[in-house]
Chain A
Amino acid sequence: MSTIAERMAAAGAGAAIELRGVTRLFGALAALTDITLSVRPGERRAVLGSNGAGKTTLLNCVTGDFPPTSGTVRFFGEDVTILPPHERIRRGLRRTYQISLLFQRLTVRENVYLACRGVSRGRFSFLRTRAGEAIMQSVADLIALVHLENVADRLVGELAHGQQRQLEIALALAGAPRFILFDEPAAGLSPTERGDLVAILTALPSHIGYIIIEHDMDVALRVVESVTMMHNGRIFKEGAPAEIETDPEVQRLYLGGGHG
């Protein structure tokens, strides 16, 4: 039997996401270099940086879409570095994609249903789901949450871009998420939809933490408590939103324009 202290230590001092020395190479190109990052459970963190800074690659390393070349990734203390993506999802990790990855030839309801089924039992079931089953209520709730009730039975391929972005978010909220990675969720949303997005993010239960990549600073800085700045595959600054906004180096590299 391990002591509580040992288990605490094994749990990466209670971090939800912990990266140690993560490097990701694409051929000779280092998309990420020696990233060490720790996010507490329930913490809301923005990852900012110019294009090519390695933000999306960072998310891909956490989810396992592209595992790191070296270094370790821990999820709530468990080493998930070589775990396939679906195993991480079943442990409570979720993500959205910068370019919507949806099931174009299925309906909105079927898309959300698949996401709910993916994190529950019966993924291989040969029996149809009955209307009264609890999962159908979760599906309806998620559809309502992202305001897609009117198009719930339309094929996703027929939806407007903004609606597809909303669905993208719904898929990441299925089941009981413990930590969510949002990759530019506001991209392509109208101002109203951005307001809805901010409302959804702030209304998430406080135990659900997330990392958000977002170019829209109005969205990003309103929904997080901490910020990680990346440049050329490295982290160069971490702090509270207010510090980051006023940091001269950040202004030069990111807000000021000089993309180098």
Chain B
Amino acid sequence: MALTETSTPSIAAPRGGALSRWVSRHAAILLLGLILVLLPAVANEFLLDQIVGWSLALGMIALSLMFLAGYGGMVSLAQMTIAGVAGYMVAVLGASSLPTISLFWPWWVATPLAIAIAVVFGTLSGALSARTEGIYTIMITLAIAAAFFYLTLQNWPIFNGFNGFTTIPAPHFWGVNWRAPVPLYYLILFFAASSYGAVVYISRAPFGLALQGVRDNPRRMEAIGYNVAAHRVAAHAFAALIAAIGGVLLVWLNNQISPFSISFERVIDVLVIAVVGGLGHPIGAFVGAIIYVILRTFALDALLAVGLDGRRFQTIIGLGFLLIVLFSPDGVIGLWRRWSARLRANGGSRRL
């Protein structure tokens, strides 16, 4: 899309015209952004942090999977684990309720270091799986996820076993207490929007296009001069950065992390979110996340209201997943794309 956009540089179109066309092309996402920015004016803290904030942070982790799977054809189940590594490291290196373990380093040391450790972890898992394809990539990353889950569960000196960590505060800087609901919301929104923008931008930059080439035909990529394995590892590193930041934000939001934050269920949740939302476009990750968060938050009450066992909300998520995969393999955004393509007579072939 953008390659053609930039390559036909709107041949000498006036600047104003280019701007207005850019705005109209991105009208939907700009409107959404405006709503999200203004949301704290009308929304209560619960909606702000527990619904939208959680969706955005979780969406970032799903976005990292979308980047790998949608553009790179690599389904990695280790993305929640990478987020978990970052989250744990923030608790271990920074502050928590456990002075025997936590090092209480200042946030500006602990947080970047935690993210760096998670990126190294993600890059190494990527290097392990980069020479595999399809189901073998899934198996290797699942094994990594399982190994880290059991490590945190059984290791007490560093990970505090199944108790994990609580009271992991977001930092206080620039005179702002980022723990408070509204600042925390804006912090999450900033990183979610940045990572979304970065993925959209990079998808049409050489790195992202080459990744899509690797997805479509790795052998041919080699035959036109690309080091396919190196490209895959680099993609894992970039995805790990997004997942790691999402993981830190999730920990600050939930104020705790334990092995059950990164259990198989959570690992699979990320896959479900990405697939339900749709792997065809970065926005799918966030669409999937908001659907998931709303279901998790309200399905219980809704089920009880109609006289069913509230714990069946997982069944609803499962059924929803099944329906989506059966009727729209490219997720909710695939549905939306087809509807809007039907509305527009001819357009929509390479939009969104």
Which residues of A approach B to under 8 Å, CB–CB? 63, 65, 84-86, 89-90, 95, 97, 101-107, 109-110, 113-115, 117-119, 122-132, 136, 139-140, 152-153, 155, 171, 174-175
Complex interface: chain B residues within 8 A of A106 (CB): 209, 212-213, 216
Give the secondary structure class of B's interface. helix
The docked-state distance in angstroms from the alpha carbon of A140 to that of B9 is 13
Contact (A123, B6) CB under 8 Å given A89-B225, A104-B216: no
Contact (A119, B224) CB under 8 Å given A126-B202, A128-B201, A129-B6: yes
A86 lies within 8 A of B228 (CB) = yes
Complex interface: chain A residues within 8 A of B207 (CB): 123-126
Residues of B204-243 whose CB lies within 8 A of A: 204-207, 209-210, 212-213, 215-217, 219-228, 231, 234
Give the secondary structure class of A's interface. loop
**How many Å from the CB of A64 to the closest CB on chain B?**
8
Complex interface: chain B residues within 8 A of A152 (CB): 4
A125 lies within 8 A of B224 (CB) = no
A97 lies within 8 A of B220 (CB) = yes
Complex interface: chain A residues within 8 A of B204 (CB): 128
- Which chain B residue has the least Cβ–Cβ distance from A156? B216
Task: Tell which of A89, A97, A105, A128 touches B2, judged by Cβ atoms closer than 8 Å.
Answer: A128
Q: Is B7 an interface residue (CB 8 A)?
A: yes
A153 lies within 8 A of B216 (CB) = no
B6 lies within 8 A of A128 (CB) = yes
The docked-state distance in angstroms from the alpha carbon of A118 to that of B217 is 14
Q: Is B308 an interface residue (CB 8 A)?
A: no
- Which chain B residue has the least Cβ–Cβ distance from A139? B7
Q: Is B109 an interface residue (CB 8 A)?
A: no
11 A-B pairs whose Cβ atoms sit less than 8 Å apart in the complex: A84-B222, A104-B217, A106-B216, A107-B4, A110-B209, A117-B210, A119-B224, A122-B206, A128-B205, A131-B7, A155-B349
Q: Is B24 an interface residue (CB 8 A)?
A: no
Complex interface: chain A residues within 8 A of B212 (CB): 103, 105-106, 110
Q: How many A-B residue pairs have CB under 8 A?
A: 127
B205 lies within 8 A of A118 (CB) = no
Task: Tell which of A86, A122, A129 touches B3, judged by Cβ atoms closer than 8 Å.
Answer: A129
Contact with A along B49-88 (1 / 0, CB 8 A): 0000000000000000000000000000000000000000
**How many Å from the CB of B213 to the closest CB on chain A?**
5
**How many Å from the CB of A140 to the closest CB on chain B?**
8
The docked-state distance in angstroms from the alpha carbon of A142 to that of B219 is 22
Complex interface: chain B residues within 8 A of A104 (CB): 216-217
**How many Å from the CB of A249 to the closest CB on chain B?**
34
**How many Å from the CB of A114 to the closest CB on chain B?**
5
7 further contact pairs, Cβ within 8 A, besides A90-B225, A109-B7, A117-B206 = A86-B222, A97-B223, A103-B217, A110-B212, A114-B221, A122-B206, A126-B207
The docked-state distance in angstroms from the alpha carbon of A122 to that of B4 is 19
A109 lies within 8 A of B219 (CB) = no
The docked-state distance in angstroms from the alpha carbon of A97 to that of B7 is 28
Complex interface: chain A residues within 8 A of B225 (CB): 86, 89-90, 115, 118-119, 123, 175
Q: Is B350 an interface residue (CB 8 A)?
A: yes
B7 lies within 8 A of A118 (CB) = no
The docked-state distance in angstroms from the alpha carbon of A110 to that of B222 is 16
- Which chain B residue has the least Cβ–Cβ distance from A63? B223
B224 lies within 8 A of A171 (CB) = yes
